[in-house]
Structure 1
């Protein structure tokens, strides 16, 4: 009977593994790959992707574990013939399912890590983030398996899958502190911010303590060992502490973080977040003509820096600050040039310009666009006839009016020639 029980248990476990490992691996890779931010290799966003994949991996793993537990329940009469504790077989099965889930999660982690590293990644990998995802996945496996043991019905696996899916889906990223409970629903990490290590550590503690509490409660009830009440109480207390700490965080998992910029130094100095270093050539090409045309004016700049989205775009002291979208959507370099041009205007004075249209002529030239049609065809024709050097000289003289959106028809008149020196018709004076 002992040999028969061992064979039957191995057969049941093998079937669960053959389904669990490829199923979880495939779901995890697809979920993580679709969640990666295109064009950006930022380790914190890769961590968010891994943790986010557990929101789908977890319910599936819990359902598979519950299904395996229901199948294994039919072999308990064989385990009763062994002198071992009745909880031993369940713990071994749970450990085997947990190992299968970790193999799948490790494969997903390897794919995300390689994909991020190959794109000149910025920041640093977070071991705590990887552990937070792994701990949340183990919690689902334990909860699903124990549910299948306690309610050995075929419908249990479906119920576990539905409940775990609802637990993951009901929370919205960034909505409240509930979103930080494993499996966490985290927002995409913007550049110049990073995940807080304390939040990740609390998630690891919450999931690990919750798993320990479930297992200890099951073993204590099955083996009837009162001594397990103390570690069970400690596990519950750790879960409570982690919950309180996550509540105190207010649902914000990220915080501002400095980043050493990636720069190019010729013909301008352009510096961006290191995750966006691939944008430097296009930015240099797009921004240099504008910098050249503004040379010699109060709006001239020789340095361009990327700043966080919360800070305004400015041009001051020879430095222009810009914003870039994290995904580097097509046209990002043109939007950066537009931001610099817009920063040259006085927002209060330009709210209601006295002579609308004239500034558009200058804007089109600065941006390299086709000039707009304005009512004053004479001014438009005259400005179009000037060469590049004359336009730059004109802008240096009229930059104050341009900045205040106060350009008018008189500003586009040809400059008056200086009066010529009068010559003495009688010839040189005699002494």
Structure 2
């Protein structure tokens, strides 16, 4: 029997689509404001349910003798799946719920009433994480006990005020946090529109300012010598200094570019795929290949084979003695990112659906690309992963300890389009599956 609260919430959600049109502009604004408050209230309710889930899980695992240090493992990944988010986001959501429910009652109340948005509540949780429970509670009281003080306050102003009070309450904790921050230095990339990519670096204060100042000084002395803008000169100088190339345009192509033979030969306009980036137009892909050849750089062509109907990748050129590396590359190309639903994290590990310890094969059918957090989460009791490729492209079905199942189908390779399935075919398939 379905939970009455679940039924009520589903009914409320369905009624939102039937709301009649606003009669005037003022009513539309009132509704927008109220819906924002409802979103905040839902976030507070999610925090309550998240902590109840943790409480129930700990009780269940304690009853069967799971050591305290291992209780609740994998819970963040389950929360992420329920919220249709990545594994790393699940960890943040779990920490957010713990802070609200255990140490920040005024923030929770402000969120529940709609006086505080979920993002602003996140700022409060994030910027007090390094403090003692007592100091965190004091900031919670000062900022959120009287919600009228939040009226008109912007995100940056709120962030600055939390930091100011934190330094006032415990300056040493802030200093210690700053001292530890350089250990988080890193470089990352993420796709940008129009075939561009954002290269980001998180650096210590002095290092970051020095890098930027050096690039700016070079651009100040160079701009005007050709038709490049100041910003373009800085960008080119960054590439040249990091790679050691004579010019930014003389770089070897060190990307995995996947395209159909029709796209490569110019007979198709289907999108190509860059591993770790995403789809790019056919003309752009051909230009990348052409530039690599014109620059006389080392380029490698590796053939992939797919099933004509489903588009499932079934094989790839490989050398027998390099099979493990070749299999990893195959999974990179087939899966593109972590195969857990809603997780776009880069593939960091290669997982056996049927564990190797229980006889699972090291094969493409039994393998999937995973991020670290999800590969660790699925090792916990109650998790089950089953793969299937008989019905088309490789499919992974993940079942969590609560019995909820989540299916993930390998993306279609570049140039492939699934044949539309008619309602009759869909109904026949459902009947066959139920038989």
TM range (shorter): under 0.3
Structure with more strand by fraction:
2
Structure with more helix by fraction:
1
TM-score, normalised to structure 1's length? 0.20
TM-score, normalised to structure 2's length? 0.20
